[in-house]
Amino acid sequence: MADDARTAPANDAAGTPVLQVDGVRRMFTRPHGDPLVVLESVNLSLRRGEIVGLLGRSGSGKSTLLRIVAGLIQPSDGHVVYRNQRLDGPADGIAMVFQSFALFPWLTVLENVEAGLEAQGVAPHEMRERALAAIDIIGLDGFANAYPRELSGGMRQRVGFARALVMDPTVLLMDEPFSALDVLTAETLRTDFLDLWTENALPIQSVLLVTHNIEEAVFMCDRILLFSSNPGRVIAEIEVPFKHPRNRLDPRFRYLVDDIYARMTARSPVDQPAAVPTIGERLTEVSTNLLAGLIESLAAPQHGGRADMPEIARTLALEVDELFPIAETLQLLGYAHITHGDLILTPLGHDFAHADTQDRKDSFARQLISRIPLAAHIKNVLDERPNHRAPAVRFLSELEDYLSDSAAEETLSAVTRWGRYAELFSYDDDAETFSLEQDAE
Ligand code: ADP
Ligand code: MG
């Protein structure tokens, strides 16, 4: 499909599958012994000459899938086929660039780049030659003897790329490689990489790029696979028909970004009818400042209570990953709802935007009690106890029947933060205790 639109190496036998993921499933065991299914029935194939994006929200299992494709961990079910063979560990020809750079701080740039070759037993002379060539091509010449701590984030990630490229990989896996960099550095590195790719300067035949950034996916990829959460699976495939170099301001580019935005929000749980909420509903800790800020922006005259999600994300200088939990929390609390990629303020949201501080707190308290069962539960317990106090651990252990330890902690922490703001209850950080007294702060 749309192979003619591909701008990557055209002299390769384009379209031949290089790597295939078949029915991959992956479970982890939760602390209480319950299984957590992170990936379910994942199928995808990487063809020669293409950059494929795997676009999904944080926690959807993207890194887990990439680790499986890299042969670093095993699937619980299904398999990965690379060069007609089932993968059963790291394969020559598959290299990875990590979000965190993952450099050895005690080695120089040159030694970092040589490290992988050394492990393969490449002769010292050849090792040096190949490492210097990789350093050169990725724009690190002159830095061979520097240590990672002496480099900027962008230069460190160049080392990350050089370390992958020196292996002469057929398949390059990238796990959010630009997300730890500032905006300008990230863009420079993306463009430099795309230049090398389109000039055929790299031995790589296909790239699998994991990202949560829609614009990045549309900027770089020939094909985008939308990834769902809980469990992670591929739910849609989108061809990107633009030639490199791409122009982010091109209306067709913008249209595609908006379209993907809408699809991602349409697939998010917020668009589905709410299941009967329980105290074990997982919540994301979002600051009340951000919640109020988003309500205010929506209510502002230029939006008039309704805004396109990508647009409001840009206004607030937020990324998709950051906007979704805020928007979802507003929906959960009844201040807004999400339809087809638009965020729409409810009458309650409008009231909130125009209320003074105390009325906002009262409104928030009412919404917490009526819409967040955990908040109502904590309030109830405190009301009923003669001393009106209860330790956090009591609620945490209840939550752990439903959620993993870290999810339970974040959920309780979210409700604590919101409840304090609403003056529904107080929380003493040192004693880790809830009470009905006013917070001292
Ligand atoms: P993403 O890269 O999309 O943010 P991850 O693949 O890192 O997602 O994680 C997906 C889910 O799997 C998360 O809920 C995470 O907590 C869980 N997970 C990842 N690795 C492990 C592990 N080794 N043990 C238990 N749970 C894990
Ligand atoms: Mg990840």
Ligand number with the minimum distance to the CA of 321: 1
> Does any ligand 1 atom lie closer than 6 A to the CB of residue 59?
yes
> Does any ligand 1 atom lie closer than 6 A to the CB of residue 433?
no
pLDDT tens-place string over residues 215-247: 999 999 999 999 988 899 999 999 999 999 999
**Range 19-263 has CATH code 2.60.120.10:** no
Mean pLDDT of 50-54: 97
| Per-domain boundaries in the chain | 19-263, 277-441
CA of 263 to the centre of ligand 1 (A): 23
> Cis peptide before 273, with omega less than 30 degrees from 0?
no
CA of 116 to the centre of ligand 2 (A): 23
The packing angle between helices 109-119 and 153-165, to 10°, is 30
Q: 137-141, 310-314, 324-328, 342-346 — which is least confidently predicted? A: 310-314
> Does any ligand 1 atom lie closer than 6 A to the CB of residue 28?
yes
pTM of the model: 0.69
What pLDDT is stored for residue 440 in this prediction? 43
- Whether residue 390 contacts residue 382, with contact meaning beta carbons closer than 8 Å, is answered with yes
Average pLDDT, the chain: 89
- Whether residue 405 contacts residue 351, with contact meaning beta carbons closer than 8 Å, is answered with no
What pLDDT is stored for residue 186 in this prediction? 93
Class level of CATH domain 277-441: mainly alpha
Structure tokens at 39: 């990936």
In this model, does residue 106 exceed pLDDT 80?
yes
pLDDT tens-place string over residues 232-290: 999 999 999 999 999 999 999 999 998 898 888 764 444 444 445 578 888 999 999 99
Ligand number with the minimum distance to the CA of 232: 1
If one residue of 28, 29, 67 were mutated to test the ligand 1 pocket, choosing by the most ligand atoms within 8 A of its CB, it would be 28
Q: 12-16, 283-287, 299-303 — which is least confidently predicted? A: 12-16
> Does any ligand 1 atom lie closer than 6 A to the CB of residue 38?
yes
DSSP for 10-47 reads SSS-TT-EEEEEEEEEEEEE-TTS-EEEEEEEEEEEEE
In this model, does residue 7 exceed pLDDT 60?
no
Hey, how many other C-beta atoms are within 10 angstroms of the C-beta on 385?
13
Mean pLDDT of 139-151: 95
Nearest CA-CA partner of 19 in 48, 53, 45: 45
CA of 371 to the centre of ligand 2 (A): 31
> Does any ligand 1 atom lie closer than 6 A to the CB of residue 94?
no
> Does any ligand 1 atom lie closer than 6 A to the CB of residue 58?
yes
What pLDDT is stored for residue 14 in this prediction? 63
Whose structure tokens read 């780049």? 113
Ligand number with the minimum distance to the CA of 174: 2
